[in-house]
Amino acid sequence: MSIASTSPATGQQLKTFSALTSEILQSKILEADQAFQKYRHTSWVQRSMWLHRAAELLRDEQQSLKWAQLMTLEMGKPIEQAIAEVQKCASVCDYYAEHGAKLLAPELVTTDASQSWVEYQPLGAILAVMPWNFPFWQVFRFAAPTLMAGNVALLKHASNVPQCALAIEEIFLKAGFPAGVFQTLLISAAQVELVISAPQVKAATLTGSEPAGISLAQAAGKVLKKTVLELGGSDPFIVTASADLDEAVTVAVKARLLNNGQSCIAAKRFIVLESISAAFTTKFVQAFRQLQIGDPLQTTTDVGPLATLAGCEEIDRQVQISIAGGAECLIGGKKWSGLPGYFYEPTILKNIPPTCATYQDEFFGPVALLFTVPDLNGAIALANDSPFGLGASAWTQDAAEQERFIQELESGAVFINGMVKSDPRLPFGGIKRSGYGRELGRPGILEFVNIKTIWVK
């Protein structure tokens, strides 16, 4: 089987790779286990030095641009956003390099023993199944805490970003991490079960679609191994009468169209109170009209292509079903033909009826769903009327309204007067069908360690 890298801006194939044979895959798993036996005994100081060095490599101006261009070529994100992604990867390396030892320090506990405490020890090889939409960030936010904790990592990246996957392995090797500590596996989805079933692999994490998450969880469940899943989202973006309307509109456009709309934590459902609906809608549509679609390598481009032809066709299918089902299309609603790639016009659909087949879908592309509600109760009810629960953004200057959003919105994160985003210092993850477990912050580094009780008399 071959793994192909294709430019979504042109539809042209860039490069092909051969998938690993079962024999080579097994040898890489064994290499990871052998590397772990030594790596687990390295000091906090040494691991910290290697992570800081990885951050330095990511911040190198010339190299940073090279990796950003690689992301843009393979999956189509605007180049300025790709550069920012590389820099964010450096920040997560530095965060765990600086704080990892403290986050995993033994904790004394007073009991009936002479001494008792909790130790946090590495597990071994951890499998990461990662998506194409943030091809560097998704990997580094897993790898930085995992490696700092003393584990080793096996990466199965999305098949359409193989060059990014190989570049990440190269970065960790150049940073000084021993061979085998971080390995990229160019394998098919069908080979993932073979990896998770290997006794040397102790746990797995996946960011991606619900079907992919279910498949990994089932495979891991058969061999009783832990998983962390970050899956889809249909995040609400609620705007009340007390909000700063201009700021809310500006952030709403960015929150929906960042990464060409292909983000699990993108704002997707814009829920606006009736009293300000007309004003918000006018400003929102006008802002969409001013967006520049085009070549993602050009710094003036706001919206590039979708990553795959299948993704472009799927978003168009959802839009057409929504319109046929009663939604009003305020702008866009069709593929963009200015260039030969997988482009879709920035689109706003208003008031998809609950009876429509796409009402509870995740729209993974540049399509905003706009809803009008009479009051705060209606806004919260509509926000929670979703199988997903990843993040939520609410815009209000009223303290009582803020408290209600914080307590009542069903999601893994609530951002008041700001765009939902990931931050190395804060835990990240969802509830309901958005997955389970957490990445980042202290909870993130605790996911793949043995939380060991020690009792001495």
At 60-75, the pLDDT tens digits run: 999 999 999 999 999 9
- Looking at the structure, tell me whether residues 314 and 361 fall in a common domain: yes
- Statement to judge: residues 262 and 192 lie in one domain: no
Residue 126: strand pairing partners: 153, 203
CATH of residue 118 = 3.40.605.10
225 and 242 within one domain: no
pLDDT digits (tens, 9 = 90+) for 310-355: 999 999 999 999 999 999 999 999 999 999 999 999 999 999 999 9
**Residue pair 146/126 in contact by the 8 Å Cβ criterion:** yes
First to last CA, the chain: 58
Both 220 and 242 in a single domain?
Answer: no
Strand partners, 251: none
Whether residue 46 is found in the same domain as residue 135: yes
User: Is 274 one of the catalytic residues?
Assistant: no
Q: Where in the sequence is the domain holding 323, given as residue range(s)?
A: 235-423
Mean pLDDT (whole number) for 227-239 = 98
387/447 same-domain check: no
Give the pLDDT confidence score for residue 369 in this predicted structure. 98
Average pLDDT over residues 103-115: 98
| Residue 350, C-beta contacts closer than 8 angstroms, at least 6 positions apart | 281, 327, 328, 329, 330, 370, 371, 372
pLDDT tens per residue, range 274-303? 999 999 999 999 999 999 999 999 999 999
Q: Which residue in the list 264, 312, 345, 410 is annotated as catalytic?
A: 264
What digits encode the pLDDT tens for the residues 30-40? 999 999 999 99
Do 301 and 224 fall into the same domain? no
Least Cα distance to 141 among 53, 230, 219 occurs for: 230
Number of domains in the chain: 2
54 class by beta-carbon count within 10 Å (0-12 exposed, 13-18 middle, 19+ buried): buried
**Any domain includes 442:** yes
216 with 227: CB under 8 angstroms? yes
pTM value is: 0.97
Same domain flag for 216 and 239: no
105 Cα distance to chain centroid? 28
Mean pLDDT in residue range 255-260? 98
* 50 inside domain: yes
Q: pLDDT at position 403, please?
A: 98
What confidence category does residue 1 fall into, taking pLDDT thresholds of 50, 70 and 90?
A: confident
What is the H or E stretch that residue 183 is in? strand 182-184
What local confidence, expressed as pLDDT, does residue 365 receive? 98
Same domain, 215 and 297: no
Burial of 227 (0-12, 13-18, 19+ CB in 10 A): buried
Q: Tell me if 305 is assigned to some domain.
A: yes
Report in angstroms the alpha-carbon separations of 446 from 165, 426, 437.
25, 13, 10
Q: Provide φ and ψ at 346, rounded to 5°.
A: -55, 130
Side-chain-side CA neighbours of 205 within 13 Å: the count stands at 28
Of 31, 85, 230, 362, which residue is the catalytic one?
Answer: 230
Res 2 pLDDT > 90: no
Q: Is residue 176 part of a domain?
A: yes
- Residue 429 within a domain: no
Question: Residue 22 falls within a domain, yes or no?
Answer: yes
Mean pLDDT for the stretch of residues 248-271: 98
The CA distance from 258 to 241, in Å, is: 25
* Residue in the structure block whose two tokens are 């060409």: 260
pLDDT of residue 167: 98
Mean pLDDT of all residues in 357-363 = 96
Say if 428 falls within a structural domain.
no
Contact criterion met (CB below 8 Å) for 247 and 214: no
449-456 average pLDDT score: 98
Determine the average pLDDT of the residues in 78-93: 98
**Same-domain check for residues 157 and 213:** yes
259 plus 159 within the same structural domain = no
Position 341, amino acid: G
370 and 441 share one domain: no
The per-residue pLDDT for range 144-189, each reduced to its tens digit, is 999 999 999 999 999 999 999 999 999 999 999 999 999 999 999 9
